[in-house]
Amino acid sequence: MVNGIGILKVLQYAQLTNVKRFVYSSSGCGVYGLDSKMPFEEHDISISLHTPYQVTKLLEELYTSYFYNLYEIPMVNARFFNVFGSGEVLEDIEM
């Protein structure tokens, strides 16, 4: 619930302040789901979601699309896969 409300508030603020572009960081694993066939295409989504996290990530992408259509705010939705951070070594990550 926090993700959905949070992105909505951020998008409303972006609209009020006339941002030039909105970049949203999504999750490929969250939006495509476990049952998706590869290779994925940009417009692919899964309706066979298995966690609340996946549902909120899809909701957030739908909100960005809604704000683009309603207010013409340029949007970039980036779907990241297998992101790891500082101090993590690729060999230590289970795949």
Summarised one tens digit per residue, pLDDT across range 13-25 is 999 999 999 998 8
Average pLDDT for residues 41-48, to the nearest whole number?
68
* pTM, entire model: 0.72
Decide: helix, strand or coil at residue 92.
helix
Summarised one tens digit per residue, pLDDT across range 49-92 is 778 888 888 888 889 999 999 999 999 888 777 666 666 666 66
What is the secondary structure of 44-74 as a DSSP string?
---S---SHHHHHHHHHHHHHHHHHHHH---
Q: What does the alpha-carbon distance between residue 75 and residue 68 come to, in Å, rounded to a whole number?
A: 7
Q: Give the list of residues 6+ apart from residue 62 with CB closer than 8 angstroms, or none.
A: none
